């Protein structure tokens, strides 16, 4: 969920449900997801359906843990032309854990590329901490700095975020 005007105005809500297959090897994950996004434009909500496939390579660099994810998504927009997009994320976790919840600091860079028209759309740089609430519930709290190209100009965004992953 994203809010505007001092966090008093909801303008974006997204739900992402997916399945990750970890049985190929211990260093490759294959994910199939479906994201539904509702964004407020004026006084009405616009829906976007976004199925996507994720291929993630996991590994160790010394004591550092990293993941390198490639996402291919189809953006079925209600109010605009459909398009394909590639999203690349490189994430590195520091080799330290704190408390029984296994707090681990991390850094990530995520780049968005449209296949049609404009190629480079935005870049996000993350700094955060991941942790385990229970054996099957993981979470992250993070700060993100985003640069996005809009109407030929680069727009900067600074935000805090929270994720919650429920594992089956």
Domains and CATH numbers, the chain: 2-166 (2.40.160)
Interval 82-136: pLDDT, tens: 999 999 999 999 999 888 888 999 999 999 998 887 678 899 999 999 999 999 9
- CA atoms of 9 and 2, how far apart (whole Å): 8
Interval 41-78: pLDDT, tens: 888 899 999 999 999 999 999 999 999 999 999 999 98
Pairing of strands 9-25, 28-41: antiparallel
Which are the contacts of 102, defined by CB distance < 8 A and separation ≥ 6? 131, 132
- Residue pair 107/126 in contact (Cβ under 8 Å)? The answer is yes
C-alpha separations of 123 from 137, 148, 156 in Å: 28, 7, 10
- Residue pair 105/129 in contact (Cβ under 8 Å)? The answer is yes
């Amino acid at each position: 969920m994203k809010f505007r005007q001092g966090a008093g105005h909801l303008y974006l809500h997204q739900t992402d449900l997916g399945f990750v297959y970890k049985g190929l090897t211990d260093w490759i994950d294959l994910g199939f997801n479906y994201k539904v996004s509702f964004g407020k434009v004026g006084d009405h909500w616009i829906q976007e359906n976004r199925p996507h496939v994720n291929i993630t390579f996991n590994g160790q660099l010394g004591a550092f843990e990293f993941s390198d994810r490639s996402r291919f998504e189809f953006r079925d927009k209600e109010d605009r032309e459909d398009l394909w997009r590639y999203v690349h994320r490189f994430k590195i976790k520091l080799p330290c854990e704190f408390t029984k919840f296994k707090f681990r600091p991390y850094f990530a860079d995520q780049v968005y590329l449209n296949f049609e028209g404009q190629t480079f759309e935005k870049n996000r740089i993350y700094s955060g901490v991941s942790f385990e609430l229970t054996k099957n519930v993981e979470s992250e709290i993070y700060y993100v700095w985003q640069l996005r190209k809009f109407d030929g100009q680069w727009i900067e965004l600074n935000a805090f975020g929270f994720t919650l992953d429920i594992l089956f």
